[in-house]
Protein backbone atom coordinates (compact mmCIF):
# COMPACT_ATOMS: atom_id res chain seq x y z
CA UNK A 1 0.00 0.00 0.00
CA UNK A 2 1.34 3.43 -0.94
CA UNK A 3 0.20 6.81 0.36
CA UNK A 4 1.26 10.25 -0.81
CA UNK A 5 1.33 12.92 1.90
CA UNK A 6 0.93 16.46 0.51
CA UNK A 7 0.98 19.97 1.95
CA UNK A 8 1.33 23.28 0.15
CA UNK A 9 0.74 25.72 2.99
CA UNK A 10 4.00 27.65 2.86
CA UNK A 11 7.30 27.61 4.71
CA UNK A 12 6.43 24.78 7.13
CA UNK A 13 4.79 22.46 4.56
CA UNK A 14 7.96 20.38 4.31
CA UNK A 15 7.96 19.85 8.06
CA UNK A 16 4.28 18.87 8.04
CA UNK A 17 4.77 16.20 5.35
CA UNK A 18 7.91 14.88 7.06
CA UNK A 19 6.14 14.65 10.44
CA UNK A 20 3.10 12.93 8.91
CA UNK A 21 5.31 10.51 6.96
CA UNK A 22 7.34 9.69 10.07
CA UNK A 23 4.24 9.20 12.24
CA UNK A 24 2.42 7.02 9.67
CA UNK A 25 5.41 4.80 8.92
CA UNK A 26 4.53 1.10 9.06
CA UNK A 27 6.45 -1.84 7.60
CA UNK A 28 3.77 -2.57 4.99
CA UNK A 29 3.20 1.06 3.97
CA UNK A 30 5.22 3.10 1.50
CA UNK A 31 4.93 6.81 2.28
CA UNK A 32 5.81 9.56 -0.20
CA UNK A 33 6.05 13.13 1.15
CA UNK A 34 5.11 15.72 -1.49
CA UNK A 35 5.53 19.50 -1.28
CA UNK A 36 7.09 22.42 -3.10
CA UNK A 37 8.79 23.26 0.19
CA UNK A 38 11.45 20.69 1.03
CA UNK A 39 13.14 22.21 4.05
CA UNK A 40 13.12 21.05 7.66
CA UNK A 41 14.97 22.59 10.56
CA UNK A 42 17.47 20.40 12.44
CA UNK A 43 15.57 20.96 15.69
CA UNK A 44 12.39 19.76 13.96
CA UNK A 45 14.11 16.57 12.75
CA UNK A 46 15.47 15.98 16.27
CA UNK A 47 12.04 16.50 17.86
CA UNK A 48 10.45 14.03 15.39
CA UNK A 49 13.14 11.48 16.11
CA UNK A 50 12.60 11.89 19.86
CA UNK A 51 8.80 11.64 19.68
CA UNK A 52 8.27 8.86 17.12
CA UNK A 53 9.63 5.46 18.02
CA UNK A 54 11.83 4.12 15.21
CA UNK A 55 11.07 7.30 13.24
CA UNK A 56 13.30 8.32 10.36
CA UNK A 57 12.40 11.95 9.64
CA UNK A 58 15.74 12.74 8.01
CA UNK A 59 15.08 9.98 5.44
CA UNK A 60 11.71 11.52 4.59
CA UNK A 61 13.17 15.03 4.43
CA UNK A 62 15.52 13.79 1.71
CA UNK A 63 12.60 12.22 -0.18
CA UNK A 64 10.22 15.17 -0.38
CA UNK A 65 9.08 15.23 -3.99
CA UNK A 66 7.96 18.31 -5.86
CA UNK A 67 4.33 17.82 -6.98
CA UNK A 68 5.26 18.24 -10.64
CA UNK A 69 7.65 15.28 -10.43
CA UNK A 70 5.17 12.79 -8.92
CA UNK A 71 3.44 10.22 -11.09
CA UNK A 72 -0.24 10.28 -10.09
CA UNK A 73 -0.37 6.48 -10.42
CA UNK A 74 2.33 6.09 -7.77
CA UNK A 75 0.02 6.31 -4.74
CA UNK A 76 -3.02 4.26 -3.79
CA UNK A 77 -4.37 7.40 -2.16
CA UNK A 78 -3.33 10.91 -1.20
CA UNK A 79 -3.69 12.53 2.22
CA UNK A 80 -3.69 16.34 1.99
CA UNK A 81 -3.08 18.57 4.98
CA UNK A 82 -4.47 21.75 3.43
CA UNK A 83 -6.86 22.73 0.66
CA UNK A 84 -4.07 23.82 -1.68
CA UNK A 85 -2.40 20.40 -1.38
CA UNK A 86 -5.78 18.76 -1.96
CA UNK A 87 -6.32 20.80 -5.13
CA UNK A 88 -2.87 19.93 -6.48
CA UNK A 89 -3.34 16.21 -5.77
CA UNK A 90 -6.75 16.24 -7.48
CA UNK A 91 -5.29 18.05 -10.50
CA UNK A 92 -2.41 15.58 -10.80
CA UNK A 93 -4.80 12.63 -10.75
CA UNK A 94 -7.23 14.22 -13.21
CA UNK A 95 -4.37 15.11 -15.56
CA UNK A 96 -3.31 11.46 -15.55
CA UNK A 97 -6.77 10.44 -16.77
CA UNK A 98 -7.71 8.63 -13.58
CA UNK A 99 -10.85 9.25 -11.56
CA UNK A 100 -10.43 11.25 -8.38
CA UNK A 101 -13.70 9.82 -7.10
CA UNK A 102 -12.89 6.13 -7.51
CA UNK A 103 -10.70 5.05 -4.62
CA UNK A 104 -8.50 2.04 -3.98
CA UNK A 105 -9.08 -0.40 -1.15
CA UNK A 106 -11.97 0.87 0.99
CA UNK A 107 -11.22 4.55 0.53
CA UNK A 108 -14.10 6.45 -1.10
CA UNK A 109 -11.80 8.51 -3.31
CA UNK A 110 -8.18 9.06 -4.27
CA UNK A 111 -7.67 12.33 -2.35
CA UNK A 112 -8.55 12.92 1.28
CA UNK A 113 -8.37 16.24 3.09
CA UNK A 114 -7.18 15.68 6.66
CA UNK A 115 -10.09 16.39 8.98
CA UNK A 116 -8.11 18.52 11.46
CA UNK A 117 -6.66 21.96 10.86
CA UNK A 118 -2.96 21.46 11.46
CA UNK A 119 -1.23 24.58 12.73
CA UNK A 120 2.29 25.32 11.59
CA UNK A 121 4.99 23.83 13.79
CA UNK A 122 6.27 26.45 16.26
CA UNK A 123 9.06 28.70 15.00
CA UNK A 124 10.95 28.36 18.27
CA UNK A 125 10.65 26.64 21.60
CA UNK A 126 9.72 23.03 22.22
CA UNK A 127 8.40 21.32 19.06
CA UNK A 128 7.62 18.00 20.78
CA UNK A 129 4.10 18.98 22.01
CA UNK A 130 3.15 19.91 18.43
CA UNK A 131 4.38 16.51 17.17
CA UNK A 132 2.51 14.75 20.00
CA UNK A 133 -0.76 16.49 19.11
CA UNK A 134 -0.26 15.74 15.41
CA UNK A 135 0.48 12.07 16.18
CA UNK A 136 -2.75 11.82 18.18
CA UNK A 137 -4.71 13.36 15.31
CA UNK A 138 -3.16 10.87 12.85
CA UNK A 139 -3.91 7.81 15.00
CA UNK A 140 -7.32 7.13 13.35
CA UNK A 141 -5.58 7.15 9.94
CA UNK A 142 -2.97 4.69 11.17
CA UNK A 143 -5.79 2.43 12.34
CA UNK A 144 -7.68 2.71 9.00
CA UNK A 145 -4.52 1.85 7.09
CA UNK A 146 -3.75 -1.05 9.42
CA UNK A 147 -7.26 -2.50 8.99
CA UNK A 148 -7.11 -2.21 5.21
CA UNK A 149 -3.74 -3.89 5.14
CA UNK A 150 -5.13 -6.81 7.14
CA UNK A 151 -8.21 -7.09 4.89
CA UNK A 152 -6.28 -6.97 1.62
CA UNK A 153 -3.15 -8.95 2.48
pTM, two decimal places: 0.91
Structurally, the chain folds into a number of domains equal to 1
Average pLDDT for residues 81-103, to the nearest whole number? 87
Quote the domain boundaries for residue 44. 2-152
> pLDDT category, 106, cuts 50, 70, 90?
low
pLDDT above 90: residue 81: yes
| Dist. CA 111–CA 94, nearest whole Å | 11
Higher pLDDT, 152 or 98: 98
Q: What is the pLDDT of residue 103?
A: 62
Give Cβ neighbours of residue 114 (< 8 Å, ≥ 6 apart): 79, 80, 81, 137, 141
Q: What is the pLDDT of residue 140?
A: 94
- DSSP conformational letter for 59: H
| Dist. CA 72–CA 100, nearest whole Å | 10
Average pLDDT for residues 40-69, to the nearest whole number? 92
Q: What is the pLDDT of residue 150?
A: 81
pLDDT above 80: residue 13: yes
> pLDDT category, 40, cuts 50, 70, 90?
very high
Q: What is the pLDDT of residue 52?
A: 92
Average pLDDT for residues 73-92, to the nearest whole number? 91
Which CATH number characterizes residue 13's domain? 3.40.50.2300
Angle, CA 87 vertex, CA 58 and CA 70 arms, to 5°? 45
Q: Which helix H or strand E contains 33, and what residues bound it?
A: strand 30-34
Amino acid sequence: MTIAIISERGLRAGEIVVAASTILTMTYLTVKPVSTNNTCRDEFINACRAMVRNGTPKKYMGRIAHPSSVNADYADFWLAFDTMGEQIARQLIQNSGKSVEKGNYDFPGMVHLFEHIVPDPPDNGDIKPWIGTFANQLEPWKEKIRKMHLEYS
